[in-house]
Structure 1
Amino acid sequence: MTLALLSAGGGNALDPPDASGLEQDLVTALRAAGASEVVRLGDPGSLRALSRRAHDANQRVLICADNLVAHASLLRTLATEPGGRSTALVVADPAGDLRDDRGKLLPAQPGAGTVRYLGALCVAPADLPTLEQVADRPDLLSALLDAGVVPVATPVRLLRATQVRTSSELAEARAEVAAVDEEAARLRLAVKERDDFFTTYAVSTWSPMVTRAAARLGLSPTAVTWLSVLLAGLAALAFWQASRPAMVAGGILLYLGFVLDCVDGQLARYTRTFGAFGGWLDTMADRAKEYAVYAGLAAGAERIGLPYAWPLAITAILVQTVRHMTDSWYGALHDEAASHPRPRPAGGVGARLATASTRVQGEAGSAAYWLKRIVVFPIGERWALIAVLAMLADGRVALGAVAGCGLLAFAYTLALRSLRSLSMRVGVLDKVDTGRHRDDGPLVRHLLAGSFEAPLLCAAVGVVASLGLVAALLFGWAEPPAPVAMGVVALLILAAALPARARHDGPLDWLVPAALRAAEYLYVVAVGRAGSVAASVIFLLLFTLALRHYDLTARMEKCTPAGRGAGPLVGWEVRVVVLAVLAPAGHPTLAEAGLAVVVGGSFLWRAVADWRRT
């Protein structure tokens, strides 16, 4: 529920009948936006009292200027921000005094503005104490920005909104609003404003029709997500069957599953139906579907006698998971840098890269823009590549292409983002429960943790050691089962526990979770190789570990509660110790299969328990 306030627009010269009619229109629009109560703002004391009451009731406060003419859908968008954050209505304006940085609204230096505030603001419960403190100021948005609140920018885009001061302006604004087909605009606005190349031209051109049909059928976004999972599962089964008709059918099913994967988000935005579970499920389903397809391709290639398919699937899942960990934390780092910028060195490589990236992003539709979008190998391009190569060639070729392109994209993004993060000079991992996102278990938390001031260095040592062991086993430099080498590498990985209590606030410490994932996953591969564990079992363990770690980042990205998994009984160090002990003792398959059951079972139990409560 939302508490709505009408504040004075300032400088109005509306005729009394027009002013009264406009206010009635706004009250109707605010009610349609979900306001449980609409009141006119009086003195600052009344605003403080209302803010306190809304905070106690965990309600949002929607503040709207009384001279605003706008589509009701815009006010509903403000009041239903899916992350539960404060948001403000803005319009693109190079002469504005605000700037939109990755969807965050920030003050701008003179001449550097990109947007202008339109007089409608929704304050989230977490920011209401700040609103109470700045209630005396007439410019509430500027006051909130000065106090450190970073609202989400809600752009007008295809709809219309303007503040009026005379009756003639009111008539003109109403005519502009009436001229727009609000329903059609809402449907088009449900599509992401900027998406990847394949999604933009092969999906979003017709997916709004599917979105509208799903809405008319009364389907929820979660139901569409499950349908997408079903199609991807059928595609994986078709790839496993591996005949040419089955491979063609699998490619088509994979494409249709991706269309539905886009539709679930579009449907949520179109109907303004958001939920913590839906956002989390969408993220988790994307990864589970993709990795199930990898398994189907590998099993199908093995079925028709093609070697090395499972190692390629293992490479693909390892690279994609570690890369996605860097994607999540770089996004968090970029948001932190935008919200709390620090002086950057003039002329540095990172600063020049940031300037070049901003310039290319502003050239939407250009060759450079699309190249920048494609080179990072996003999900649409991955699924398109898999579908085409599976239909034209075989599962091994498709997996080889995904693994190769994934490695190139990882190298590209890691190098450029590292340089840019050095120029940002902010930390992000220290702003959260560091141990939970490191996936530390009881051995680290209660026994091994120290304050050694080099978290990334220690994690990187583990990555290099694990990678070296895998290479030694693959090229015959070490003979399986190599118990001494495995023990030494395990100790080097465990060295990442030494800085567990240190502040992870370095400019590159956002890479620590990804480095820990890489070290552990490579050690799983090394143990499997040394112990002649079936490649499918190795893949299964990596799959369950990926689900566990995606759960952590999905909850962070979707602003959902940490849940009951905040204090894991089996952290990364426990799993490494189990592998290091059981594998040399002659039980590598038992170790990896057992860990897959434990990790997968605990993930499912936590997920079901947490989301049943929501």
Structure 2
Amino acid sequence: MLAAGAPAASLRTGSGESLVDRLVDQWRRAGAAEVRVAADPIELAELAGSADGPVLVSAADLVAHTAVLRHLLTSPVGASVALVLTDPPAAGRTAVREERGQVVEAGPAERLTGGATGVFGGAVRVGPADLPALVAAAHAVAAGELSAGSGGAGDLPVGSGVDEVFAGLAGQGTLVAAHRVRLLVAHRVDDAPGLAAAETAIAAVDEDRAELRLSVKEKDDFFTTYFVSTWSPYVTKVSARLGLSPTGVTMLSVGFAVAAAALFATGGRPALVSGAILLYLGFVLDCVDGQLARYTRNFSAWGGWLDTMADRAKEYLVYAGLGWGATAAGVRYGWALAIAAITLQTVRHMTDAWYGALHDEAARRPKQVGTGGGGIGDRLNAASTRVQADTGSVSYWLKRTVVFPIGERWALIALAVALFDQRVALLAVLTWGVLAFAYTGALRTLRARWMRVSVLDTVDATLHRDDGPLAARLPLRAGSLDWLVPAALRAVEYLFAIAVGVIGGAPAWLIFGYLFVLTLHHYDLVARLEKRQPAPPLHAATLGWEVRSAVLALAAIAGIVSVALATLGAYLLVLFVASVVLAWFVRPARVVRVPTASTRTGDRATG
């Protein structure tokens, strides 16, 4: 903790200990392996410069539940995460502006473009990659470059020092996620009355009950909010008492979805109704695994990756069950509907992921956004912000529902198949999916042109375009619409494979199976995009979209399309499984691990 200039550093708590001593104990109980109290920013810079893991910088005036500190230390939303409060800004405190859960500006409230959305809570976890920026910010504060009247970045008033360091960190373009306090209590205090009021508020909260409620996402889709999250926390608590892990619950959810798909393939009213019920229960478990991770603070990169991949695999297996069942019931185009559904949903997900990456990049470079001023993109952005802020209103729920999120998709499938049949369920998914794709695609394209930033030039474009040796030579053309390139390439490859399969007389189920394997490969890339991870271990062997398409074209000429689809699909599946084993089990096992007091997220809390 950086205690320099903090008027609360010498305050005494209700138990008689100093506020600093209590915070030191709280950070240790929250999971920090090492806690130090720094006298000035220079000492902070020295400590951060010698750290080999995440560093937690804390002010000495923070009064909070220990759970709040633990949540910040273990937060999985980003490498660097800052505590953000809704308290009125006080002298010396830094205001922040957030977009999509990220701090995009920090400084005096009156100087933030678009207005402040919160106040820095006096604690920030800084990831290893961002430590040089933290050191630079601390040195700038020590040199007076960020002090009052210095004319430095933000021209901040002198406060506890932590505020100035954080503003300097954010001012360098560091990607910092915002961690909001809900239900629990966190305040920064300046005097004894403020400390007493904060301690009273903390004592009034049932911490375990609040933790259970906090395990539910703050903003979710309509169906999940009112038909799942109203009772899933009870399942979460039982799961915790039984000692189940989030990964274990994920696998249970997969089992329910597989059983539902099998019943949909079997057909008959009892099987369809039973499958719909299992599908709903499987979705409940799909929500419970995340709630259990948040409730127990049991996060892991493997669990996050598995959850992402399992969600898509479950949904597409259900499409396969519906396609099989519809075909068995006499619908000639049953498998065709399933093929259309998996193609549409995958392309939609690709645009969702890349638009999110574009939006995050625009938030990091606000000066390049909306330079046209007052255009339709500006108005759309303002309207979207207003609707999102009006939580619970009709317009809010319409906006969240029209995009056809996973909760609505699973609810629609369950209702349609239980009341009608597999064909109606697939048609319903396709109809709503096309409308949602048209709606989001049009609005996002307009907003992307208004943002005027590119995104492909910020990542390994060859990896995320899924280029092979030929396409990798194509020049990168960065622009405001380059976020559409990966999804467009997925659409081209999938549609080409479908066309080759149809022309070559391949069974429809084989075409679906080949596409299913491709989606696993491409969703792995998306998961790596979201975490900015490197390529899968065996990515080079996947050939690339152009070579795979060329192989299928040659197979069509040779009249062996079915053989080619089966062989190439099996080859890609083996590569995918081998990459998963190498990336998540073999390589980590080779890393020499040094035991510490905490190996979860925060290796050191200092400042």
1-structure distance, mates of 2:118, 2:469: 49
| SS across alignment from 1:583 | helix
1-structure distance, mates of 2:41, 2:219: 40
Determine the structure 1 residue equivalent to 2:296.
Answer: 271
Determine the structure 2 residue equivalent to 1:124.
Answer: 127
1:68 aligns with 2:41: no
Determine the structure 2 residue equivalent to 1:325.
Answer: 350
Determine the structure 1 residue equivalent to 2:336.
Answer: 311
2-structure distance, mates of 1:170, 1:17: 7
Residue 92 of structure 1 and its aligned partner are, at CA, apart by 2.5
Determine the structure 2 residue equivalent to 1:101.
Answer: 99
1-structure distance, mates of 2:511, 2:11: 75
Residue 8 of structure 1 and its aligned partner are, at CA, apart by 3.9
1:390 aligns with 2:417: yes
2-structure distance, mates of 1:385, 1:158: 33
Determine the structure 1 residue equivalent to 2:213.
Answer: 188
Cα 1:51–1:9, aligned 2, differ >3 Å: closer, same or farther?
same
| SS across alignment from 1:597 | helix
1:253 aligns with 2:226: no
1:430 aligns with 2:403: no
Deviations 1:367-398 (A, max 9, x none): 11111111111110000000011111111110
1:80 aligns with 2:74: yes
Determine the structure 2 residue equivalent to 1:11.
Answer: 7
Equivalent residue in structure 1 for 2:486, among 513, 520, 524? 513
1-structure distance, mates of 2:69, 2:86: 17
1-structure distance, mates of 2:88, 2:509: 55
1-structure distance, mates of 2:435, 2:88: 37
| Greater CA drift, 387-396 or 20-29 | 20-29
TM-score (ref. length: structure 2): 0.88
Alignment check: 8 A CA contact 1:33 1:79 kept: yes
2-structure distance, mates of 1:15, 1:43: 19
Residue 93 of structure 1 and its aligned partner are, at CA, apart by 5.3
2-structure distance, mates of 1:416, 1:161: 38
| SS across alignment from 1:35 | coil
Equivalent residue in structure 1 for 2:475, among 475, 489, 501? 501
Alignment check: 8 A CA contact 1:99 1:105 kept: yes
| SS across alignment from 1:204 | coil
Residue 569 of structure 1 and its aligned partner are, at CA, apart by 4.1
Cα 1:7–1:505, aligned 2, differ >3 Å: closer, same or farther?
farther
2-structure distance, mates of 1:385, 1:16: 57
Determine the structure 2 residue equivalent to 1:597.
Answer: 570
Alignment check: 8 A CA contact 1:436 1:567 kept: no
Counterpart residue identity of residue 116, structure 2: G
| SS across alignment from 1:307 | coil
Alignment check: 8 A CA contact 1:442 1:568 kept: no
Structure 2 unpaired stretches of 5+ = 142-160, 589-607
TM-score (ref. length: structure 1): 0.87
Alignment check: 8 A CA contact 1:14 1:166 kept: no
Structure 1 segment 150-549 matched on structure 2, within 5 A: 150-341=175-366, 342-344=368-370, 345-445=372-472, 449=473, 500-502=474-476, 504-549=477-522
Determine the structure 1 residue equivalent to 2:24.
Answer: 27
Counterpart residue identity of residue 194, structure 1: K
Deviations 1:182-229 (A, max 9, x none): 111111111111000001001111111111111111111111111100
Alignment check: 8 A CA contact 2:45 2:135 kept: yes
Alignment check: 8 A CA contact 2:49 2:132 kept: yes
2-structure distance, mates of 1:297, 1:569: 29
2-structure distance, mates of 1:181, 1:581: 66
| SS across alignment from 2:35 | strand
Cα 1:413–1:16, aligned 2, differ >3 Å: closer, same or farther?
closer
Alignment check: 8 A CA contact 2:11 2:18 kept: no
2-structure distance, mates of 1:129, 1:228: 42
Deviations 1:85-107 (A, max 9, x none): 11111112576731121110122
2-structure distance, mates of 1:33, 1:158: 18
Deviations 1:290-326 (A, max 9, x none): 0000001111122222221111101100000011000
Deviations 1:488-539 (A, max 9, x none): xxxxxxxxxxxx232x420001110100110111111111111221110110
2-structure distance, mates of 1:186, 1:609: 36
Alignment check: 8 A CA contact 2:7 2:191 kept: no
2-structure distance, mates of 1:556, 1:182: 35
Residue 9 of structure 1 and its aligned partner are, at CA, apart by 6.0
User: What is the count of residue pairs matched by the alignment?
Assistant: 553
| SS across alignment from 1:152 | strand
Indicate the percent of aligned positions where both proteins have the same amino acid. 55
Residue 44 of structure 1 and its aligned partner are, at CA, apart by 2.9
| Greater CA drift, 541-550 or 63-72 | 63-72
Residue 281 of structure 1 and its aligned partner are, at CA, apart by 0.5
Alignment check: 8 A CA contact 1:9 1:66 kept: no
Deviations 1:136-173 (A, max 9, x none): 31311111111221311111121111112222221111
Counterpart residue identity of residue 134, structure 1: A
| SS across alignment from 1:248 | helix
| Greater CA drift, 195-204 or 600-609 | 600-609
2-structure distance, mates of 1:48, 1:566: 39
Aligned-pair Cα RMSD in Å: 1.7
1-structure distance, mates of 2:303, 2:568: 28
Structure 1 unpaired stretches of 5+ = 450-499
| SS across alignment from 2:184 | coil
2-structure distance, mates of 1:583, 1:602: 24
Counterpart residue identity of residue 118, structure 1: G
Deviations 1:332-353 (A, max 9, x none): 0001111112141122111111
